[in-house]
């Protein structure tokens, strides 16, 4: 005996109201039977079918399957029971509307490892129910009859001994109903088919037995035709799926879920990329790196092989430096307090508000620069302004005549590399470009300086200052802050430059720009590499201190750095949390659709483990586009003129991607918790509404 129901009872308890589904049901059912179950609405027919199909539990009596008790079954045993023995056909078709007929049928064939074999069988079953033409059509575009035939093909694909059909013709027209009834009969060979129906007329000619349910009890049980028990039905041995196959199926299901709802998946991917970009912007805003370093380099623009030399008393004569340089075989330059970088503000072409800070750096080894030649390195986002920056230097009469422009994606610093000759002979002139001057109480910018022999010492002309009224006023230049000059003439014009040119007598000019630097507090030695420099530092004579310009030093206020770091973290966590919420909300809104899909998976015997794990795959797939969209968008941002953005750093990229993956997988986890632990019956009811 395939199935034996002994005193089976099912009581529903919803909000403390107890309803009897079925009670005291005794039935014996076997292979080759075609049973129709009739009864009024609410009499318990569906309950009976759900108990047999293990879509619902029973509370009373005992269900014997092949002579064995089932009341002690655990959830996984019921899962196995469903997987191996039950195929269902419901009134509301129960197909996954977003999948094609072929995919729907394939879902029931996951036990077959070979994909092409699976497709071959699915196709032959589809042909058997007469849907070959519609094989690649989405479920949502099928007629009711076609949907029901798809479900029958799927039930067949399961190849299980018991087929349960709950009002399979309930939503069909007469013609389709007849076809479905005939199809069920056709597939019933060697199987137990139980059909609940309000339209017994379609099934009478096929039925071998008729059961009537009244008020949860069997009120009539008529055998129309004795089942053919002579044919022995071979019990199939189902070998359990291997780990590898389960993994493959999980992956396949994940991809299927992902593909089946393109609108939803692209919405999720969009939300994710927006989240990723927001986090990226926040990181960039907060100084470009996630965490403020506790240490900084000694030099603002550290250069390989540069050693900053100083003494304990702070004074260093040029002679001494020259001796040390000789002893360590270094190139050297003695200078003022500053190392060898200074800042020049240049108005952006796009507007007056922003300015570039150009670091002028003496680069003895990166570039072998001859006198008058320089290299300007600037971020791609500033390339629109490259010409203006270049011309500012070339037009200032500061000795530079050729500037080569190089673009970079990885840094947002603007650096002008100059050679040794320009550093020693024109360094001051370059430094004076766009320097400040004070006229009375006002501050103005002097673009550059020129000699005008017609002027007396202490007198200056301001060319291009026609829009001010500064004649006869005093001016103090920041390049020579210890002296005031008198402005003699302020209405000369020079159309070829846009800034103010300060003209002065040769004597004054030379006093500013030809001043020879003889001593300073710090001095620099230059070596080809950091390694050579390190070796030289070790050999410095007593009393001298040498540090690599790339050396890391502790920033002054570690406490402050610590506080800002905590603020960054909190800001990032808050933002990620907001996005996780938004993404969860989008996801939870679609929970109903997925709930139905997942319930269908379970009725097909796909284990809960596989279906819930497939969700993680599906979510991971939604995350995949961010992997390349984030760097792409970051790249676009760096080449947009004026954006001032730099290309995303590897650290930030990895951090953001891990964050996004975490967000989706946490959402998947929450979703999983939400859909598991519900009875199939309940979710079906909810989902179909």
CB 213 to ligand ADP: min, Å: 7
**Partner whose binding site includes residue 19, from ligand ADP, Mg ion, none (CB under 5 to 8 Å by kind):** ligand ADP
Distance, in Å, from the CA atom of 328 to the CA atom of 535, rounded to the nearest integer, reads 9
- Which residues make up the interface to ligand ADP (CB under 6 A)? 12, 14, 19, 21, 39, 41-47, 681-682
CB 683 to ligand ADP: min, Å: 11
Take residue 482 and report the two structure tokens written for it.
Answer: 């210890």
**Beta carbon nearer to ligand ADP, 91 or 188:** 91
CB 19 to ligand ADP: min, Å: 4
> To 5 degrees, how large is the angle CA 153–CA 158–CA 162?
100
Distance, in Å, from the CA atom of 37 to the CA atom of 60, rounded to the nearest integer, reads 21
Take residue 44 and report the two structure tokens written for it.
Answer: 């318990």
How many residues interact with Mg ion (rule CB under 5 A)? 1
**Partner whose binding site includes residue 222, from ligand ADP, Mg ion, none (CB under 5 to 8 Å by kind):** none
**Partner whose binding site includes residue 41, from ligand ADP, Mg ion, none (CB under 5 to 8 Å by kind):** ligand ADP
**Beta carbon nearer to ligand ADP, 214 or 562:** 214
**Partner whose binding site includes residue 14, from Mg ion, ligand ADP, none (CB under 5 to 8 Å by kind):** ligand ADP
**Partner whose binding site includes residue 47, from ligand ADP, Mg ion, none (CB under 5 to 8 Å by kind):** ligand ADP
Distance, in Å, from the CA atom of 102 to the CA atom of 106, rounded to the nearest integer, reads 6
Q: Strand 480-489 vs strand 459-463: parallel, antiparallel, or unpaired?
A: parallel
Stretch that binds Mg ion, among 44-52, 199-207, 480-488, 673-681 (CB under 5 A): 44-52
CB 215 to ligand ADP: min, Å: 9
CB 592 to ligand ADP: min, Å: 17
Distance, in Å, from the CA atom of 393 to the CA atom of 372, rounded to the nearest integer, reads 11
Report how far apart, in Å, the C-alpha atoms of 196 and of each of 8, 47, 389, 599, 687 are: 18, 11, 84, 21, 21
Q: Is 462 exposed, middle or buried (0-12, 13-18, 19+ CB in 10 A)?
A: buried
Stretch that binds Mg ion, among 45-53, 233-241, 273-281, 302-310 (CB under 5 A): 45-53
DSSP code string of 489-541 = E-----TT-SSEEEEE-HHHHHHHHSPPP-EES-EEEE-SSHHHHHHHHHTPP
**Beta carbon nearer to Mg ion, 39 or 379:** 39
Q: Strand 209-214 vs strand 34-39: parallel, antiparallel, or unpaired?
A: parallel
CB 20 to ligand ADP: min, Å: 7
**Partner whose binding site includes residue 145, from ligand ADP, Mg ion, none (CB under 5 to 8 Å by kind):** none
Distance, in Å, from the CA atom of 92 to the CA atom of 84, rounded to the nearest integer, reads 23
CB 574 to ligand ADP: min, Å: 42
**Beta carbon nearer to Mg ion, 40 or 69:** 40
Q: Is 89 exposed, middle or buried (0-12, 13-18, 19+ CB in 10 A)?
A: buried
CB 30 to ligand ADP: min, Å: 23
DSSP code string of 192-241 = EEEEE-S-GGGTTTT-SEEEEEETTEEEEEEESS----SSPPPPPPPPPP
**Beta carbon nearer to ligand ADP, 185 or 682:** 682
**Beta carbon nearer to ligand ADP, 42 or 440:** 42
**Beta carbon nearer to ligand ADP, 41 or 337:** 41
**Beta carbon nearer to Mg ion, 96 or 165:** 165
**Partner whose binding site includes residue 341, from Mg ion, ligand ADP, none (CB under 5 to 8 Å by kind):** none
CB 46 to ligand ADP: min, Å: 3
Which residue in the set 46, 197, 373, 612 belongs to the binding site for Mg ion (CB under 5 A)? Answer: 46
**Beta carbon nearer to ligand ADP, 23 or 348:** 23
**Beta carbon nearer to ligand ADP, 106 or 167:** 167
Q: State the SS3 of 102-127.
A: HHHHHHCCCCCCCHHHHHHHHHHHHH
CB 170 to Mg ion: min, Å: 9
Q: Strand 442-451 vs strand 500-504: parallel, antiparallel, or unpaired?
A: parallel
Which parts of this chain interact with Mg ion (CB under 5 A)?
A: 46
């Amino acid at each position: 005996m395939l199935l034996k129901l002994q005193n089976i009872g099912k009581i529903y308890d919803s909000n403390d109201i107890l309803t009897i589904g079925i009670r005291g049901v005794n039935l014996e059912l076997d292979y080759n039977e075609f049973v129709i179950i009739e009864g009024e609405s609410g009499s318990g027919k569906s309950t009976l079918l759900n108990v047999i199909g293990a879509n619902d539990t029973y509370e009373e009596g005992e269900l014997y399957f092949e002579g064995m008790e089932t009341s002690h079954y655990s959830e996984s045993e019921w899962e196995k029971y469903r997987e191996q023995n039950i195929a269902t056909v419901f009134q509301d078709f129960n197909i996954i509307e977003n999948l094609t007929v072929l995919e729907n049928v394939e879902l029931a064939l996951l036990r077959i490892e070979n994909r092409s074999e699976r497709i071959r069988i699915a196709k032959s079953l589809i042909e058997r129910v007469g849907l070959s033409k519609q094989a690649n059509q989405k479920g949502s575009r099928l007629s009711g009859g076609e949907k029901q035939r798809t479900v029958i093909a799927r039930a067949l694909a399961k190849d299980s001994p018991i087929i349960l059909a709950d009002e399979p013709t309930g939503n069909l027209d007469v013609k389709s109903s007849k076809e479905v009834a005939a199809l069920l009969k056709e597939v019933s060979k060697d199987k137990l088919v139980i059909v609940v129906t309000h339209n017994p007329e379609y099934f009478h000619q096929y039925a071998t037995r008729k059961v009537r349910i009244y008020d949860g009890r069997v009120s009539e049980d008529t055998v129309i035709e004795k089942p053919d028990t002579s044919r022995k039905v071979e019990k199939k041995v189902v070998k359990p799926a291997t780990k590898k196959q389960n993994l493959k199926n999980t992956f396949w299901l994940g991809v299927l879920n992902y593909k089946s709802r393109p609108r939803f998946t692209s919405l999720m991917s969009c939300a994710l990329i927006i989240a990723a970009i927001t986090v990226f912007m926040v990181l960039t805003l907060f100084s470009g790196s996630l965490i403020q370093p506790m240490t900084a380099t000694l030099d603002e623009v550290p250069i390989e092989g540069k050693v900053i030399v100083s003494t304990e008393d702070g004074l260093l004569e040029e002679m001494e430096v020259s001796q040390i340089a000789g002893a360590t075989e270094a190139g050297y330059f003695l200078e003022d307090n500053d190392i060898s970088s200074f800042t020049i503000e240049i108005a952006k072409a796009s507007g007056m508000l922003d300015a570039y800070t150009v670091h002028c750096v003496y680069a003895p080894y990166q570039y072998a620069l001859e006198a008058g030649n320089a290299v300007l390195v600037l971020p791609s986002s500033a390339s629109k302004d490259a010409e203006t920056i270049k011309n500012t230097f070339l037009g200032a009469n500061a000795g530079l005549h050729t500037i080569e422009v190089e673009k970079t994606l990885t840094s947002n610093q603007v650096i002008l590399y100059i050679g040794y000759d320009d550093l020693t002979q024109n360094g001051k002139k370059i430094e004076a470009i766009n320097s400040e001057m004070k006229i009375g109480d006002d501050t103005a910018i002097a673009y550059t300086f020129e000699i005008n022999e017609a002027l007396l010492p202490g007198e200056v002309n301001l060319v291009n200052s026609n829009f001010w009224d500064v004649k006869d006023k005093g001016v103090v230049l920041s390049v020579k802050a210890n002296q005031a000059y008198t402005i003699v003439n302020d209405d000369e014009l020079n159309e070829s430059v846009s800034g103010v040119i300060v003209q002065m007598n040769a004597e004054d000019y030379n006093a500013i720009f030809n001043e020879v630097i003889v001593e300073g507090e710090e001095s620099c030695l230059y070596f080809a590499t950091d390694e050579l420099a390190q070796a030289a530092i070790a050999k410095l004579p007593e009393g001298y201190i040498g540090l690599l310009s790339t050396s890391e030093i502790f920033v002054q206020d570690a406490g402050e750095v610590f506080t800002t770091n905590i603020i960054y973290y909190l800001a990032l966590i808050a933002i990620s949390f907001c996005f996780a919420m938004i993404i969860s909300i989008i996801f939870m809104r679609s929970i109903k659709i997925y709930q139905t899909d997942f319930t269908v998976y379970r009725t097909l015997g796909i284990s809960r483990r596989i279906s819930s794990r497939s969700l993680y795959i599906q979510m991971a797939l939604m995350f995949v586009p961010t992997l390349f969209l984030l760097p792409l968008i970051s790249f676009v941002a760096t080449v947009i003129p004026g954006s001032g953005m730099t290309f995303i750093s590897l650290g930030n990229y990895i951090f953001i991607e891990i964050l996004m993956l975490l967000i989706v997988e946490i959402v998947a986890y929450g979703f999983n918790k939400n859909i598991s632990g519900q009875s199939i019956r309940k979710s079906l009811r909810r989902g179909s509404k």
